[in-house]
Copies of this chain bind each other. A is one copy, B any other.
């Protein structure tokens, strides 16, 4: 508000764009479609990375690093894969620039043309499976449980900070197994890891499900996903886990000798989440005053703002603040004391609301007299005056409460925003009036799915894992259906 954020109710899209910029999360760069992730935004991403990376390691995975470039011919090895990725990729054709003859700067040196063009990785299945070929001879070499944190490039025409950018940061897990069952178990395990992270760290409830054929990852047998709901009623795919079958093993001839000596192709999975999660985090919880961050992902969990007129007052406040800070740090709570004299307390209040700091303490002259401190929660905006004595324990408690309250709020919103409809008219009305997830019968064909998408912009987000058998009629074709799938308009 102080910073002139549009209201969500008036222009949700503009609110998001402005919030990302004003809260110092990210900005567009001079390079088309590529973003700069600013230090504050990156510090949130680092918290996410640390939590996710720990979950990967706790489930037996190791990190590694594979090349940025994919030889053009590799993409073609898997038919669906090349169809899916060739159309939007950055192609390296030369390896040198030279001074222009007219002195106007540098130009591509035509003599430095690559024999085979290289594509900047849009995803790394091809490079990694070509490598696994050398790593795998027998069942003893399996499973391979590897992840990499990397940048990838997909030449999107319409970009949006965090949600859709030409270059983005992500992790991509690539595992290789001796049996179909093991690979399927891995696929589901990683889906569960993602759902766990979304719910317990991002405080965002998600629906777990499997994608329809037309939304499947190019080259996968099955794509599982977690789908979150944003405050404007649109869905956001927040993570995917792919069962690759033997597709990439066949494309790159990766075979292994089993215990019985028989040769077979290796079974694979891949799974990823990206800086898109930043978009989900921002849109799921924030309000018209700025970010609302779940404490577990907040770079600064507590800020202390002194209210003072004289240097003497500031010094007295600093003593109290230092004491609180050291108690909080002992509890592993991150805290910042903002004693800058260049900005007013009011400016700071607005600034830390904008930045989503979960708890704000204010200490003024009267607090000094009475041994108190004002404690404000970012999520509910509630303020309480507390005795300095015991305030650290109180903060510890409300940080936990904020984490669960944000989740509960998002969960309630999702419950309210989930509808079940039985006719196409109701379907369209619900989409236009309230949006959200719409549970509806579908005849199982790609044609119907495509028609509904064309006419309503809603897509099948997934066939939920908790799919219940229920005889019904497809809302579009009237044909038989065995149960409801999840539709929504989506990012």
- Interface presence of A424 (CB below 8 A): no
8 Å CB interface, A128-177 against B:
130-131, 134, 140, 146, 150-151, 153, 155, 167, 169
Measured CB to CB, the closest approach of chain B to A462, in angstroms, equals: 30
Measured CB to CB, the closest approach of chain B to A40, in angstroms, equals: 8
CB-nearest residue of chain B to A82: B106
Measured CB to CB, the closest approach of chain B to A24, in angstroms, equals: 10
- Interface presence of A66 (CB below 8 A): yes
- Interface presence of A480 (CB below 8 A): no
Measured CB to CB, the closest approach of chain B to A127, in angstroms, equals: 7
Between A and B, 18 residue pairs with Cβ closer than 8 Å are A29-B66, A31-B67, A31-B70, A37-B64, A39-B64, A41-B64, A43-B62, A46-B63, A65-B169, A69-B90, A72-B108, A75-B106, A82-B106, A93-B93, A93-B108, A97-B119, A108-B117, A120-B120
8 Å CB interface, A22-79 against B:
27, 29-31, 34-39, 41-43, 45-46, 62-76
**In the complex, what distance in Å separates the CA atom of A38 from the CA atom of B72?**
23
4 A-B pairs closest in CB distance: A34-B67, A39-B62, A86-B97, A37-B65
- List 14 extra interface pairs beyond A29-B67, A42-B65, A87-B98, CB under 8 A: A30-B71, A31-B71, A36-B64, A36-B65, A36-B66, A38-B64, A39-B62, A39-B63, A65-B169, A72-B105, A89-B95, A91-B97, A91-B108, A150-B151
- Interface presence of A453 (CB below 8 A): no
- Interface presence of A234 (CB below 8 A): no
- Interface presence of A118 (CB below 8 A): yes
- Interface presence of A397 (CB below 8 A): no
- Interface presence of A96 (CB below 8 A): yes
List the number of copies, as a whole number: 2
Q: Which residues of B contact A46 (CB under 8 A)?
A: 63
Q: Which residues of B contact A130 (CB under 8 A)?
A: 30
Q: Which residues of B contact A27 (CB under 8 A)?
A: 131, 134
- Interface presence of A342 (CB below 8 A): yes
**In the complex, what distance in Å separates the CA atom of A167 from the CA atom of B69?**
9
CB-nearest residue of chain B to A76: B105
Output the residue of A90, A108, A150, A153 with the most chain B CB within 10 A. Answer: A90
Q: How large is the interface on A (under 10, 10 to 19, 20 to 34, 35 or more residues)?
A: 35 or more
Q: Which residues of B contact A127 (CB under 8 A)?
A: 29-31
**In the complex, what distance in Å separates the CA atom of A105 from the CA atom of B251?**
14
* Contact among B35, B64, B69, B91 for A67, CB-based, below 8 A: B35
Q: Which residues of B contact A447 (CB under 8 A)?
A: none
CB-nearest residue of chain B to A98: B86
Question: Do A106 and B62 form a contact, CB below 8 Å, given A29-B127, A96-B87?
Answer: no
- Interface presence of A180 (CB below 8 A): no
- Interface presence of A393 (CB below 8 A): no
Q: Which residues of B contact A97 (CB under 8 A)?
A: 72, 75, 82, 86-87, 89, 91, 119
- Interface presence of A398 (CB below 8 A): no
CB-nearest residue of chain B to A39: B62
CB-nearest residue of chain B to A106: B86
Query: Is the beta-carbon distance between A342 and B71 smaller than 8 angstroms?
Result: no
Output the residue of A36, A65, A119, A127 with the most chain B CB within 10 A. Answer: A65
Output the residue of A41, A72, A91 with the most chain B CB within 10 A. Answer: A91
CB-nearest residue of chain B to A40: B62
Measured CB to CB, the closest approach of chain B to A383, in angstroms, equals: 30
Query: Is the beta-carbon distance between B39 and A105 smaller than 8 angstroms?
Result: no
**In the complex, what distance in Å separates the CA atom of A373 from the CA atom of B87?**
61
* Contact among B37, B89, B96, B105 for A91, CB-based, below 8 A: B96
